[in-house]
Structure 1
Amino acid sequence: MSISGPDNDTTKRIQLRAALIERIGGYMTAHALGVVADLGIADLIKDGVRSSDELAAETGAHEPSLRRVLRLLASVGVTTEPEPTRFGLTEVGALLRSDSPDSLRAFTRVFCSPMWFTAWQGLGQAVTTGELAFSQAKGSDFYTSLTADTEFSALFHEAMGEESRIAAARVAAAYDFSHAIKVVDLGGGDGTLLAAILTAHPHLSGTVFDSPSGVADAPAVLGKAGVADRCEVQPGDFFQDIPGDGDLYLIKSVFQDWNDEDALALLRSCRTRIPESATLLIVGTVLPEIPSADQSIAYFTDVNMMVMAGGRERTESEFRTMLSETGFTVQSVRFGAAGPLSMIQATPSAA
């Protein structure tokens, strides 16, 4: 007597259930990634294959538990297990190495941290009430908490630098800087983006402008890039005042941090201070008017900003409305001009 397999309808139903269960378990993968990033496992594996006994001994971890976590990550394509209890890294997993030029170790540690998970537990309340999940969980807004926790603040700014590294080279190559003389990077953090631009375009000078904690590492980054002699580092609050001596003002991945009221306030601050002949270049995510599955990361970011800081991603029409309301005229919108990031070029509107 033969045993028949499941029919096509049953197979499809099983596959659909498995697909949903994998998505439900996404937070488990994130926790596992956070633990491995905190322990520095990828730095210990590097290009070779290491046993879980060795990795546990060097990190002080419990070997059977670590082995099971690494096995989970192997199942989702982060680690490999070419033979039992011996683990390597996939190309994706290699991004957890701190010495990788494309490292996302700090980024992983931030987004898989207890601070993030605690805030995300309030997503249901945020959806029901519209209240900010982070503030409900922590009793203060994200940026106040970040300022108060110097250790996490340093890690956060390192993570933002990692996120900017690849985008920086793309922005430097994608925009025509030939008509600019001085670039002011508002919210420029550690100067990663401006360093790449000044390196690619030697005729330029620049200013990195951000909060005191945001620019703390900028002198070192600019010095390492060899452009410190052409770039100022200026701490400040871009809602209150910004440098008025640039002819190109760059804002990358900043508007997503803020709600509409604050985003409009930032644009008004820019409009008050920048010269009439200057150009404003916004680099960041521009959502399609209708959701697209091939831009899923943008929607993760959108809801993450809703949870953490009350910010949001925006569509082209929403950007155009905000810029028009604050006295700017959109000259061009280039989708995907810098990899996944788009560019919006605007100028002060005629009085």
Structure 2
Amino acid sequence: MASHSVADGRAPGGPLYDLMYGHIHASALRAVAEHGIADLLADGPRSAGELAERSGTRAEPLRRVLRLLASRGLFREERGEFVLTEEGAALRTDVPGSQRAPVLMFTDEMFRRAAAGIPETLCTGEPGFDAAYGSPFFAYLEETPEKSRLFDSAMTSRAGTVNAHVTEVCALPAGGTVVDVGGGRGGLLRQVLTEAPGLTGVLYDRPETIAENLLDGEAALAGRWRAEGGDFFASVPEGGDLYLLKNILHDWPDEDCLRILRAVRRATVPGTRLLVVDAVLPDDGTAHPAVALDIVMLMVLRGRERTADEFAALLADAGFRLVRVLPTRSMSSVVEAEAV
């Protein structure tokens, strides 16, 4: 098959154009999420005119935006009407695992401005977010309540299905105490305690975070868990039989990860299990969705996604042995380790 270049008089296409227009696709995606178009298609196909009338938009530009997103598989155009595909259904607000909140977060100006700083990041190694906002990401969230709510909503949406996928692949102990370090509002701990009725749990995070936990209203878990506030860089609750670190280590550079892991190790005895839930990147260049997330870490935080070998080295330096890596049906894997 002959190849063509710009010199042939044909415009180039393929991956280069997909990348070049990537911000346009993201902006179109954000627009339909903001206007709730997927919810309007939940009951069946509608024309651009109907959708525009119901969403308070204009039919002609809406049709063009939907046509673009149809080319990416989120919608389908049939006889002048638009149909929501299985992929596009994740934009609905009323479905389990809705991804509308993550879409709104990752297409927010916070991330667009941070991404614009990547050329400078290549020279300095510093996150573009810090340069754009004059503040580290989490400090900015603390100072900006509406962005903090957006972030919390997106993380809750992303976490829901991941928690179930984690317990699918892990052999939970029949009894003992599980300590969820940096457990946020307690979604994973709730899932674990529900799956393993013989376990008790400790939800450990910043006091202001655990104050809004998801477990207080769970009558079936009453008396089986407690919340404890603190700083996981300094210490974590002692005496657990199983420790959890979900989506924590990828937020931090190696030196900070070692501080967290060593705090966990000080709280444990040899043989104690640790489950690290994070993406595990392939080391052979195989495509993986977390490769893009790794760039988010680069532009927003100082963290990174890691390979199994990189996890093994971190764990060994902190006094743990990597036992195995368990893939899940989500982007995350479970890195199982043991205190030595």
The aligned residue for residue 93 of structure 1 is: 88
Query: Cα distance 1:276–1:99, how it changes in 2: closer, same or farther (>3 A)?
Result: same
Measured on the aligned residues, the alpha-carbon RMSD in Å equals: 2.5
Is 1:267 paired with 2:261? yes
In 1, Cα distance between the equivalents of 2:321 and 2:113? 41
Q: SS at 2:202's partner residue?
A: strand
Q: When the two structures are superposed, what TM-score results if normalisation uses the length of structure 2?
A: 0.90
Partner of residue 295 from structure 2, selected from 303, 310, 323: 303
List aligned pairs for 1:145-294, cutoff 5 A: 145-212=140-207, 214-215=209-210, 217-219=212-214, 223=217, 226-276=220-270, 278-293=272-287
In 2, Cα distance between the equivalents of 1:203 and 1:179? 5
Q: Which moved more, 1:137-146 or 1:238-247?
A: 238-247
The aligned residue for residue 42 of structure 2 is: 46
Give the residue type in structure 1 aligned to 2:71: S
Give the total of aligned pairs.
Answer: 338
The aligned residue for residue 4 of structure 1 is: none
Segments of 5+ residues of structure 2 without an aligned counterpart are: none
Whether the 8 Å CA contact 2:175–2:200 is kept in 1: the answer is: no
Whether the 8 Å CA contact 1:157–1:214 is kept in 2: the answer is: no
Q: Which moved more, 1:107-116 or 1:221-230?
A: 221-230
Q: SS at 2:260's partner residue?
A: helix
In 2, Cα distance between the equivalents of 1:54 and 1:288? 46
Shift of 1:103: 0.9
Shift of 1:52: 2.6
Identity of aligned residues (%): 38
Whether the 8 Å CA contact 1:157–1:190 is kept in 2: the answer is: no
Segments of 5+ residues of structure 1 without an aligned counterpart are: 1-6
In 1, Cα distance between the equivalents of 2:60 and 2:218? 42
Q: SS at 2:14's partner residue?
A: helix
Shift of 1:128: 1.9
Give the residue type in structure 2 aligned to 1:39: H
Partner of residue 68 from structure 2, selected from 68, 72, 92: 72
Query: Cα distance 1:234–1:65, how it changes in 2: closer, same or farther (>3 A)?
Result: farther
Is 1:348 paired with 2:339? yes
The aligned residue for residue 23 of structure 1 is: 19
Q: When the two structures are superposed, what TM-score results if normalisation uses the length of structure 1?
A: 0.88
Query: Cα distance 1:176–1:55, how it changes in 2: closer, same or farther (>3 A)?
Result: same
In 1, Cα distance between the equivalents of 2:244 and 2:296? 23
Whether the 8 Å CA contact 1:280–1:345 is kept in 2: the answer is: yes
* Cα deviation digits, residues 255-285 of structure 1 (max 9, x gap): 1111112111111221223345532111222
Query: Cα distance 1:76–1:243, how it changes in 2: closer, same or farther (>3 A)?
Result: same
* Cα deviation digits, residues 131-187 of structure 1 (max 9, x gap): 221101110000001111222212212211222222211211211112542211122
In 2, Cα distance between the equivalents of 1:240 and 1:116? 30
Shift of 1:123: 0.6
Whether the 8 Å CA contact 1:286–1:335 is kept in 2: the answer is: no
- Which structure features the higher share of helix residues? 1
Runs of 4+ in 1 over 4 A off after TM superposition: 13-16
Give the residue type in structure 2 aligned to 1:334: V
Whether the 8 Å CA contact 1:191–1:222 is kept in 2: the answer is: no
Whether the 8 Å CA contact 1:239–1:265 is kept in 2: the answer is: yes
Shift of 1:224: 5.5
In 2, Cα distance between the equivalents of 1:224 and 1:79? 38
Whether the 8 Å CA contact 2:169–2:326 is kept in 1: the answer is: no
